Amino acid sequence: MSVVKSPLSEADLKTVGNALQGALVDLVDLALVAKQVHWNVVGPRFRSVHLQLDEVVDTARLHSDTVAERASALGVNPDGRAATVAAGSAIGTVPEGWVKDADAVRILVTSLGAVITRMRERVDVTGEPDPVSQDILIGLTADLEKHSWMFQAESA
């Protein structure tokens, strides 16, 4: 049952809905991973990495809300439940316990890379059926790529 009538055809809605749902899952997990590492990071670069992680969390949370609301506006139920996120995320697991600052940077470079790869695929598939959703995905991918650049520069 959908209470919202989509302006998209059924086939286009399926494509765009899958892209938005996948983006939501990856963004929710990215926020969780970055926060987990944020709480446990240690080392000489603690403060700068700690603060940088919170910037990633803020970006992921902001964009996850935008993505979920876009899905709702199209009549697609966004699903950010823990089980859904765990089953569908592109991000690997985070080690338990304290995380050395260099390892924290590596984890974020890897996590952001995985999410960005999938976001770029979503940008490609949404262009024709829904340029509005594509625009949202382009903007969030640009923000994630900026974070990725900054974390990569940390490890240079």
Structure tokens at 31: 């926020």
pTM, rounded to two decimals: 0.96
In angstroms, how far is CA 91 from the centroid of its own chain?
9
| Residue of 31, 61, 37, 63 lying closest to 50 (CA atoms) | 37
- Asked whether the beta carbons of 16 and 8 are under 8 A apart, the reply is yes
Residue with tokens 């950010």: 80
pLDDT tens figures, 76-116: 999 999 999 999 999 999 999 999 999 999 999 999 999 99
Which of the four pLDDT bands, split at 50, 70 and 90, describes residue 156?
A: confident
DSSP string across 76-136: ------HHHHHHH-S--PPPSS-EEHHHHHHHHHHHHHHHHHHHHHHHHHHTTT-HHHHHH
Residue with tokens 């697609």: 76
